[in-house]
Structure 1
Amino acid sequence: MSPSLILPMAAHVALAALLYVLLTVARAPAIWGIGRGSDGSNPFAGVEPRVSANLSNQFEWPVVFYAACIILCLQGEPGRAAIGLAWVFVGGRILHSAVQIGTRNVRLRGIVFTLNFLAVLGLWVLVVARAVSGPVA
């Protein structure tokens, strides 16, 4: 398997791992009492549901990303277009996480998601084009 697509896949795995750490920290006051406010409250109560939702998002559309990357690798050298689209996807996922966790701006989150969505569709266009006619860009 080509390391050129392994790196963006590994970067996405690292993002998911970071989100698990953030979720653990956000839940620590409620679960372990670590970091509770002076009144016993969880100072992260407002952000915890957004981190949790974002982490769940990492196992939805990204699964289609992984499938496309693996198929492209099995078809031969992925090419610059595939590598570029994979990095656009990962960058978009990082931005999507920042928007979803750090803001309540649903419109911006939708725009960023569309970028991710289109990058994966582009990867699948390459998969299908290679399957039909042989290697392309």
Structure 2
Amino acid sequence: MSTLIVLGPLLAMAAITFVLMFGMVITRRRAVMEKKTDPKDLLVRGGSNPWPPQAAQFSDAYQNSLELPVLFYAVGVLTLITGHANAAFVVLSWLFVLCRAVQSYVHVTSNTRKYRSYAFRAGAIVLFFIWASLTNRLITS
């Protein structure tokens, strides 16, 4: 299987993370420039979030993109270096990326917890099956 086909979903997930990072930077900068956030409040967080809602949503979505996807990047690299990539891996990987894209979109727009939770759970289940599939192929090969 082509390396680019296998890496496609990983690159797409990285792109989502960068979009969230840039969105976070832009909304935070806007909050400081429009004096919605006092820069002194940013020195030590102390348990409270100094950002207005949109900046906080981008910040939280960005942080989320650095949590569960770490396992996705790891399984992607392991699948590639062990030579166990197949069509199921690619399809499941794109499904995981779709779930993460939906979760991120909901997070930075309506921020409806129910829909974010559905997208998160679906992505986590898909990721579990990606790992289970790789583990099975490694054990049986």
**TM-score, with normalisation over the residues of structure 1?**
0.85
With 45-54 and 71-80 compared, the bigger mean Cα shift is at 71-80
Paired residues for 1:86-125 under 5 Å: 86-125=93-132
Match of 1:30? 31
1: CA distance, partners of 2:79 / 2:36: 49
Is 1:79 the equivalent of 2:76?
no
The runs of at least 4 aligned residues of structure 1 exceeding 2 Å deviation read none
Q: Following superposition of structure 1 onto structure 2, how do residues 5-24 of structure 1 map, counting pairs within 5 Å?
A: 5-24=6-25
Query: Which ranges of structure 1 fall in alignment gaps of 5 or more residues?
Result: none
The answer to whether residue 48 in structure 2 is matched with residue 48 in structure 1 is: no
Aligned equivalents of 2:62, 2:94: Cα separation in 1: 19
Give the secondary structure class of the aligned counterpart of 2:53: coil
Deviation at 1:104, TM superposition (A): 2.9
Which structure 2 residues correspond to residues 57-76 of structure 1 after superposition, within 5 A? 57-76=64-83
Once residues 67 and 30 of structure 1 are traced to their aligned partners in structure 2, the CA distance between those partners, rounded to angstroms, is: 35
**2:45 alignment counterpart:** none
Deviation of the 1:108 alpha carbon: 1.1
Structure 2 unaligned residues grouped into runs of 5+: 38-50
Measured against aligned partners, the alpha-carbon deviations of 1:64-97 in whole angstroms (never above 9, x if no partner) come to 1111111111221511100001100111111000
Q: In percent, how many aligned pairs have the same letter?
A: 21
Provide Cα deviations, 1:9-39, integer angstroms capped at 9, x if missing partner: 11111111111111111011333x2xx2xxx
Secondary structure at the residue paired with 1:47?
helix
Instruction: Spell out, residue by residue over 1:92-113, the C-alpha distance to the aligned partner (whole angstroms, 9 max, x if none).
Output: 1110001111113111111110
What is the alpha-carbon distance in structure 2 between the residues aligned to residue 68 and residue 2 of structure 1? 14
Measured in 2, the distance between the counterparts of 1:78 and 1:41 equals 48
Q: Is the 8 A contact 2:31 2:55 kept in 1?
A: no
